[in-house]
Chains A and B, each alone.
Chain A
């Protein structure tokens, strides 16, 4: 907060002379600091603290246990199972959404009749509440009566019904499909905004030099889009990492824990078994993984930007 820039002409003391002028902006900022501290900083610190205790509402205990929760988490196959699924889900869905979003953005950038309607319609999946999406995909991919199986069977892609959610091989993939359907438009929107910042003159210059469409895209548009895409990807990855509603509604983490993610695991631990201590350790692990992810991405973005100058 640069307090110097504010009212440079005022003397160091005003009014009764007891109140330094430079304190006024600080005073004005106090409400923001207090509210942020109560709703954001305090819960995070308290979460950290809880993760070092064995707090359990059901067993009525809240003793400091040091790193015990973290040690048992390190040796807990369920945690690593959920961790792996979360990372896998995040990487695959973000990658697919970025690629699809890029495709959609390129299409929507070109002028054609009804473009504005299509642009608006494209956002519908993203605007839908995730629980509604989840229920809808539950019906679409139902193993017996689902539309997807029916269509695939009609065109001869599959000979018998695929068990989308009841089989360990398909369940996580199906959830990723639902997530991609829902969030690719969001990526498209961000990338479309990025596309509009690419100067037309560069494209025209490239055309003058005789490049074809692919070369224009690969050598001119894509490099200029990359920072936008990386930032959009970072947002999306951080969001995907917290996936909860899709999993909770569609599979509840099953079958055989094959779709358990960190959010659902810590929800179950905290609110179903009321073990706040261990649950907080799980959340902290989530927080740390997510911070590493963001750091990695951020590093990459900064390097990209530096290289471009």
Chain B
């Protein structure tokens, strides 16, 4: 359902160890807490007065970790002030996004006000807002505040003209290229798809790389991302601006999907295997030094620079994805965003927590400690970020052009229709015909 690899950025070994450590401390804390409360029960003591005077709220989020965990960050908030106490409820990691989604839907649908604050994949925002589960946030975060975030993330957090989520972190599709191969071919970093196809074909012909361009054509969520990127880089889109009809069979969309088909069948810069590849299968040949270009998420960079896994250390560059002549580069927006439960009994406390969590300082902390990219462009200017995460700093230009996937409460159904339709178009080559059929189904779903 989501860009499941957006979390892999965090998954290298030392970090995994820190998570194990965290489980340990978690258990210890639990035992201590259990012991204390058992003691309190036995002696009939009241609970600590300090906790009672504070407003208690809960925060549910998928599990992310790095040098710190989300739990550490939440504790930092609890220690930073004395009015609100937040209990963190850990959900499965984003790679199990179907389970995270189910857990959230089940809790929100009860409308009991728990969890008060939650984090959500960017593609669920409209669904939760459409169901009336998400508290509109415009009155707390006005237009000026909203301008402090990347425009694409605010667009993704807006449903029906209302801000119903607040950006947390961002990831997006981007173009990885081999600096050495491009130099050898005397080509510059491609800005249009034509330039990419030409450079890729040339490098492939010279025999320096087996594959020109690798992308993800597996019938899965990532295919929707790849499709959104080419389509909007041609000025097209999947839904009409009012979100009531599909426009996937527009001439611009057809031309864009035709380009993907051609990479396999006409320009032959991509192997037919991309049709069964998602993120990792497409990443492996690239970091093994077999490909000139790769479309993928930011996590690839960490692997490409890891001497144990990669043949291309220090040879990889990152750029915004190319666009069609007359279009603008577009990157599929991923990442998780904050939401407030519409049924919360403590909206003030929730907003206070949210303001702190989404502040520039906390975003910097997330970037440094958990390796997840800020949604505030200003944070990228921070000297410490530049020193510790030089790669993340480069991504500012990529994230500036990040485009949300179709914003609709029925996204879960729409995405299956897009996956099926685009996959059929890519396999059969009857692009217009298949997109027509898919578009009919999409219009039926959203109409």
Where the two chains meet, the residues of A that have a C-beta atom closer than 8 Å to any C-beta of B are 57-60, 78, 142-145, 163-168, 171, 251-258, 268, 271-275
0/1 interface trace, chain B 206-246, chain A, CB 8 Å (1 if under): 00000000000111100000000000000000000000000
Q: List 29 A-B contacts (CB under 8 A).
A: A58-B131, A58-B409, A59-B131, A59-B409, A60-B109, A78-B420, A143-B271, A163-B273, A166-B277, A167-B427, A251-B218, A254-B220, A255-B217, A255-B219, A255-B275, A255-B276, A256-B219, A256-B423, A256-B424, A256-B428, A257-B420, A257-B424, A271-B98, A271-B102, A272-B1, A273-B412, A273-B416, A274-B412, A275-B413
Tell me the smallest distance from the CB of A31 to a CB of chain B, in Å.
30
Q: B1 — which chain A residues lie within 8 A by C-beta?
A: 272
Q: Is B446 an interface residue (CB 8 A)?
A: no
Q: Is B274 an interface residue (CB 8 A)?
A: yes
> 4 closest Cβ contacts across the A-B interface?
A254-B219, A166-B276, A166-B275, A143-B273
Structural contact, A167 and B409, CB atoms closer than 8 A: no
Tell me the smallest distance from the CB of A89 to a CB of chain B, in Å.
17
Closest residue of A by beta carbon distance from B109: A57
Q: B130 — which chain A residues lie within 8 A by C-beta?
A: 59
Q: B337 — which chain A residues lie within 8 A by C-beta?
A: none
Q: B410 — which chain A residues lie within 8 A by C-beta?
A: 58-59, 273
| Given A57-B106, A272-B1, residue A256 in contact with residue B427 (CB < 8 A) | yes
A257 to B428, CA, bound (A): 12
A268 to B412, CA, bound (A): 9
The number of chain B residues touching the other chain, given as a range, is: 35 or more
Structural contact, A58 and B219, CB atoms closer than 8 A: no
Find B416's partner among A143, A167, A168, A268 (CB 8 Å cutoff): A268
| Given A166-B274, A271-B98, residue A254 in contact with residue B423 (CB < 8 A) | yes
Q: B409 — which chain A residues lie within 8 A by C-beta?
A: 58-59
A251 to B275, CA, bound (A): 10
Q: Is B419 an interface residue (CB 8 A)?
A: yes
A209 to B102, CA, bound (A): 69
Q: Is B426 an interface residue (CB 8 A)?
A: yes
Structural contact, B272 and A163, CB atoms closer than 8 A: yes
Q: A253 — which chain B residues lie within 8 A by C-beta?
A: 219
Extra inter-chain contacts (11) besides given A145-B284, A254-B219, A255-B219, CB under 8 Å: A59-B130, A143-B271, A166-B276, A251-B218, A252-B218, A253-B219, A255-B276, A268-B416, A271-B98, A272-B416, A274-B105
A271 to B220, CA, bound (A): 15
A251 to B281, CA, bound (A): 13
Q: A258 — which chain B residues lie within 8 A by C-beta?
A: 427
- Most B Cβ at <10 Å: residue of A60, A254, A274: A254
Find A144's partner among B218, B219, B273, B423 (CB 8 Å cutoff): B273
| Given A143-B271, A254-B218, A273-B412, residue A163 in contact with residue B276 (CB < 8 A) | yes
The A-contacting residues of B in range 398-430, CB under 8 angstroms, are 409-410, 412-413, 416, 419-420, 423-424, 426-428
Q: A144 — which chain B residues lie within 8 A by C-beta?
A: 271, 273, 285
- Most A Cβ at <10 Å: residue of B132, B281, B285: B281
Q: Is B127 an interface residue (CB 8 A)?
A: yes
Structural contact, B105 and A257, CB atoms closer than 8 A: no
A145 to B132, CA, bound (A): 49
A144 to B214, CA, bound (A): 13
A189 to B428, CA, bound (A): 42
Q: A163 — which chain B residues lie within 8 A by C-beta?
A: 271-273, 275-276
Find B272's partner among A166, A252, A275 (CB 8 Å cutoff): A166
Find B420's partner among A165, A256, A272 (CB 8 Å cutoff): A256
Q: B419 — which chain A residues lie within 8 A by C-beta?
A: 254
The A-contacting residues of B in range 86-116, CB under 8 angstroms, are 98, 102, 105-106, 109
A140 to B410, CA, bound (A): 38
0/1 interface trace, chain B 61-103, chain A, CB 8 Å (1 if under): 0000000000000000000000000000000000000100010
Q: A78 — which chain B residues lie within 8 A by C-beta?
A: 420
Q: A171 — which chain B residues lie within 8 A by C-beta?
A: 276
Tell me the smallest distance from the CB of B212 to a CB of chain A, in Å.
14
- Most A Cβ at <10 Å: residue of B98, B102, B273, B409: B273
Structural contact, B219 and A257, CB atoms closer than 8 A: yes
| Given A255-B427, A272-B416, residue A166 in contact with residue B131 (CB < 8 A) | no
Closest residue of B by beta carbon distance from A72: B444
- Most B Cβ at <10 Å: residue of A165, A168, A255, A257: A255
Structural contact, A143 and B102, CB atoms closer than 8 A: no
Structural contact, A252 and B105, CB atoms closer than 8 A: no
Tell me the smallest distance from the CB of B360 to a CB of chain A, in Å.
34
A164 to B132, CA, bound (A): 45
Q: A166 — which chain B residues lie within 8 A by C-beta?
A: 217, 272-277
A168 to B105, CA, bound (A): 35
A118 to B192, CA, bound (A): 60
A60 to B321, CA, bound (A): 39
A19 to B416, CA, bound (A): 60
Tell me the smallest distance from the CB of B9 to a CB of chain A, in Å.
23
Tell me the smallest distance from the CB of B127 to a CB of chain A, in Å.
5
Structural contact, A252 and B217, CB atoms closer than 8 A: no
Find B219's partner among A251, A271, A275 (CB 8 Å cutoff): A251
0/1 interface trace, chain B 269-300, chain A, CB 8 Å (1 if under): 00111111100010011000000000000000
Structural contact, A252 and B416, CB atoms closer than 8 A: no
A81 to B218, CA, bound (A): 18
Find A167's partner among B275, B277, B412 (CB 8 Å cutoff): B275
Find A143's partner among B220, B272, B284, B424 (CB 8 Å cutoff): B272
0/1 interface trace, chain B 127-152, chain A, CB 8 Å (1 if under): 10011100000000000000000000
Q: B276 — which chain A residues lie within 8 A by C-beta?
A: 143, 163-166, 171, 251, 254-255
Structural contact, A57 and B217, CB atoms closer than 8 A: no
Q: B98 — which chain A residues lie within 8 A by C-beta?
A: 271-272
A215 to B277, CA, bound (A): 51
- Most A Cβ at <10 Å: residue of B102, B410, B416: B416
Tell me the smallest distance from the CB of A167 to a CB of chain B, in Å.
7
A142 to B130, CA, bound (A): 42
Closest residue of B by beta carbon distance from A169: B427
| Given A272-B412, A273-B416, residue A252 in contact with residue B273 (CB < 8 A) | no
Structural contact, B274 and A58, CB atoms closer than 8 A: no
Q: B220 — which chain A residues lie within 8 A by C-beta?
A: 252, 254
A65 to B416, CA, bound (A): 24
Q: B105 — which chain A residues lie within 8 A by C-beta?
A: 57-58, 274
Tell me the smallest distance from the CB of B304 to a CB of chain A, in Å.
18
Q: B427 — which chain A residues lie within 8 A by C-beta?
A: 167-168, 255-256, 258
Tell me the smallest distance from the CB of A249 to a CB of chain B, in Å.
12
Closest residue of A by beta carbon distance from B210: A144
A274 to B1, CA, bound (A): 12
